[in-house]
Chains A and B, each alone.
Chain A
Amino acid sequence: MALDRELVGRSYPPSAVYEVGRAKIAEFATAIGDPSPVHRDPEAARAAGHPDVIAPPTFAIAVSLEAAMVVLDDPDVAIDYGRVVHGEQRFAHHRPIRAGDRLVATTTIDAARTVAGNDLLTARVDLATEDGEPVCTATSMLVARA
């Protein structure tokens, strides 16, 4: 089923707050084998100029991909979740995500097209603090194979 171009520009209500914890950052850093103390030790992070431990750059996906699922739950988006694979990913960091951040995700459909029967859907997730400070823009291109 072809994706409707009218979907482009559609935005969804902000997500619930995701509170970033030190232990979750350390767990993620360990999972990707990153030994940097700025992911684990608040003193080391402060010495490097950060208010608290910072997350590795791709940690944003743990918040953004969940938020982007709002698109697949939209009844107007006729793609089959079971056929979806991750085609492309992009991050633009306004500043590092850090422990204590209370993040809100706002998802927008940036592109929707059908190529050779494959549905390509680009979801942009803007992560900001509860107070509105921009933190990261995470853009995921999802492919539903024909």
Chain B
Amino acid sequence: MTAVRFADVAVGTELPEQRYRITRADLVRYAGASGDFNPIHWNERVATEVGLPGVIAHGMFTMALAGRAVTDWAGDPAALVEYQVRFGRPVVVPDDDEGAELTVRGTVAALLEDGRVRVDLAVGSAGEKVLSLARAVVRLA
């Protein structure tokens, strides 16, 4: 693992931009792994009946992918000590092989005590911001 070191970052340091593709199959797999079987995440009929444009990704799946952008950068999944998001807009996942694309950008927003830094995340899909107030506190080596 190539760990980022506290000494190497400053306020404004940018994390590598990550792009994640989300297909319907990914949503089914996430439903099984997480235990969240809400049909709006796999059933077009139910999703449109409740007024959604179509099947949407689990907010927690989007949060998990955005978290990967942080833990991959830190080089250690245990480094993420605090993590919060607000679910702003749903990520609509079309019924095709392409699915949806999630773009995750992160910036070091503050240097904290004990080798910790706060990373602010910008998470979008189809040109819209999907998470707001997305922040992670990461403990670096």
Contacts and interface: CB of A to CB of B under 8 A. Distances in A.
* A and B found bound together: yes
Interface in A13-56: 24, 27-28, 30-34, 36, 38-39, 48, 50, 54, 56
A58 B67 contact: yes
Interface in B56-106: 59-61, 63-65, 67-68, 71, 76-78, 80-87
Contacts of B30: 31-32
B77 A32 contact: no
A31 B63 contact: no
Interface residues of B, number: 30
Interface of A is mostly: mixed
A30 B29 contact: yes
Interface stretch (A72-80, A88-96, A108-116): A88-96
Contacts of B76: 38, 48
22 contacts: A27-B32, A31-B61, A32-B64, A32-B65, A32-B68, A36-B77, A38-B78, A56-B64, A56-B67, A58-B83, A61-B34, A61-B60, A65-B35, A65-B36, A65-B60, A66-B35, A86-B59, A86-B60, A90-B83, A90-B84, A91-B82, A93-B82
Interface of A: 24, 27-28, 30-34, 36, 38-39, 48, 50, 54, 56-58, 61-62, 65-66, 85-93, 95-96
